[in-house]
Amino acid sequence: MKVVTVGLGYIGLPTSLMFAKHGAEVVGVDVSERVVGFLNAGQVPIEEPGLPEYLTEALARKKFRASLKPERGDVFIIAVPTPNALDEFGSCDLTYVKQATEAILPCLETGNTVIIESTISPRTTEDIIQPLIEKEGFRVGEDIYLVHCPERVLPGQILHELVHNNRIIGGVTEKCTEKGKEIYGLFVKGELLGAAASTAELSKLMENTYRDVNIALANELVQISSKLGIDALSVIEMANQHPRVNLHQPGPGVGGHCLAVDPYFIVAEAPEEAKLIYQARQINSHMPHFIVQKVLDIMEANQGETITILGLAYKGNVDDTRESPALQIVNQLKKATYYNIRTFDPYVANSDAYSLETALSNSDLAIVLTDHDIFKEIPESIINTMKTPILFDTKNCVLGCDAFHEHYTLGNISNIRRISKRYI
């Protein structure tokens, strides 16, 4: 089987290499000369555990090569980005998906399968992609099999989840679904769930929306509890003892290219109906501002000068800063205050400090915005180099905080006080 993948990013690359590992001949296509050059030279341009080894093996076995142009094959997989459009509700911008589809059209032959993996707004496969293919004279379901197979993999665990997650195979016809199942059956050990293409599209969006709405509930609880002087984290712990309750964890906001983006695709299609989904987005988008306010309160109470931001990535142990609330917090602090702002993220190239030690030395406040493992245990010797050892752990992930003289979380943030003068 020859697979042509269009888009070699966080999804297209691991998917290509997974097909290659399981015996398919894979041509990965990307518009970026840099990405194509890197990959053919054996270098992986993104941080994801296991990928470098998969690439080395695929290149050595001549099962994978990267190219700027699509070519003929049996299966075409489109895995290109779908950002929010710059319209009222941030609808799904299908520009790249349409361009990728147009790019493969001249290569299509009867019997081929076209798979859309990109996250798309409901009805896109049938209303937009199918007509593009049919205008070339093919009949979808008879000559070309068209399927929407949304990805569900968690960054940081992509290679494991590609194999073990259940997978929705949304065919335009039954035959399309069957073809999709055959193709993913090459490596997927989870269940292959047949569905209509439109069901697959909306299910994918609802999975991320479910999480976004639940995180919004936790973030709203933080704001309520902060006003009432109640520890939100203890409330969550207690409430989750109920057998049918699973409150999510609050944080500095919701980042990444999924939860912070996909719910708008639903809102844009049905704004009158998607009120809760929209409101949840508003709550989560407000969290960076809430955090900045609390940071200002802490700094004011302690008359500090330097703030150290620990973590810029949108979540722990990844290098991805897309939609990261940490970046918004840094920008707001830089714009609205005269404090010295120092950032440190070992995964992100352009942070200010190059080590935890240089980041914290002489600082007045450490704010943890990303739960990287390296921040979970901060050595006492480093904490002692701070001018005022105050921690604001927005991810509630730092262990053994005794060396900090004040330790704030989203649970106790209503109790900000001035620390003893002798440490200032």
Instruction: Enumerate the active-site residues.
Output: 204, 258
Minimal distance, residue 78 CB to ligand SAJ, in Å: 15
Work out how close the CB of 385 gets to ligand SAJ at its nearest, in angstroms, rounded to a whole number: 28
3-state per-residue secondary structure call for the chain: CEEEEECCCCCHHHHHHHHHHCCCEEEEECCCHHHHHHHHCCCCCCCCCCHHHHHHHHHHCCCEEEECCCCCCCEEEECCCCCECCCCCCCECCHHHHHHHHHHHHHCCCCCEEEECCCCCCCHHHHHHHHHHHCCCCCECCCEEEEECCCCCCCCCHHHHHHHCCEEEEECCHHHHHHHHHHHCCCCCCCEEEEEHHHHHHHHHHHHHHHHHHHHHHHHHHHHHHHHCCCHHHHHHHHCCCCCCCCCCCCCCCCCCCCCCHHHHHHHHCCCCCHHHHHHHHHHHHHHHHHHHHHHHHHHHHCCCEEEEECCCCCCCCCCCCCCHHHHHHHHHHHHCCCEEEEECCCCCCCCCCCHHHHHCCCCEEEECCCCHHHCCCCHHHHCCCCCCEEEECCCCCCCCCCCCEEEECCCHHHCCCCCHHHC
- Compute and round to an integer the Cα radius of gyration of the chain: 24
Span between the terminal Cα atoms of the chain, in Å? 67
Q: Minimum distance from CB of 287 to ligand SAJ (Å)?
A: 8
Please tell me the distance from the alpha carbon of residue 274 to that of residue 265, in angstroms, as a whole number: 10
Compare residues 59 and 291 and give the one whose CB is closer to ligand SAJ: 291
CA 83 – CA 247 distance, rounded (Å):
28
Nearer to ligand SAJ among residue 211 and residue 387 (C-beta): 211
User: Are 233 and 409 within 8 A, CB to CB?
Assistant: yes
Smallest gap from Cβ 152 to ligand SAJ, in A, equals 4
**Nearest distance from residue 397's CB to ligand SAJ, in Å?**
10
Nearer to ligand SAJ, 119 or 130 (CB): 119
Residue closer to ligand SAJ by CB (options 47, 178) is 47
Give the nearer residue to ligand SAJ in terms of CB position, either 251 or 346: 251
Q: Which is nearer to ligand SAJ, 6 or 27 (CB)?
A: 6
CB of 320 to ligand SAJ, least distance (A): 8
Alpha carbon distance 382, 91 (integer Å): 46
Please report how close the Cβ of residue 147 comes to ligand SAJ at its closest, in angstroms: 17
- Of the pair 155, 171, the CB lying nearest ligand SAJ is at 155
User: Footprint of ligand SAJ on this chain (CB under 6 A)?
Assistant: 119, 151-155, 207-208, 211, 215, 248-249, 251, 254-256, 258-259, 314-315
Looking at the DSSP assignment, which residues form a beta bridge with residue 84? 92
Q: Please state the closest distance from residue 247 (CB atom) to ligand SAJ, in A.
A: 9
Map tokens 């990287």 to a residue: 372
Nearer to ligand SAJ, 258 or 390 (CB): 258
